[in-house]
Amino acid sequence: MTLNAEFCELQRLFAQKDLLTEPRGSSNNDFMEILLVRRKNMSIKMYKEIGHHLPHIHIDYGERHHVASYAIDSGLRIAGNLTPKYDSDVSSWLERNREKVMAVWNSLQDGKPHEHLLAELTGDA
């Protein structure tokens, strides 16, 4: 790996860590939003959500927030109005990353460190 490639990878990892956010104006430690990955025009996110028992991800598309949610185990859409042509893209990404995404879900819901797991997720091919 070249020095430039190593720098780019380090910068990507730092950026991912920086995207771990608490919602603006919130002091509620029971809610946390994290960006799993950006893929094409989508941001794939996850939240620490007390009382949500179905492991799932949220999709932001362009400037639109919370346009869809997908079950992690099946890759199927469970809510939202994202254009259906993107369903297979989200489902195939989940299929390739399911084990890692579930590990992030479990760690996040349990309040355990999960940042190291984010670096293992793949974005655009």
End-to-end, the C-alpha distance of the chain in Å comes to 19
Q: How far apart are CA 82 and CA 67, in angstroms?
A: 5
Place of tokens 């094409």: 40
pTM: 0.73
Residues 57-116 have pLDDT tens digits of 999 999 898 899 999 999 999 999 999 999 999 999 999 999 999 999 999 888 888 888
Q: What are phi and psi of 92, to 5 degrees?
A: -70, -35
Domain ranges of the chain: 3-118
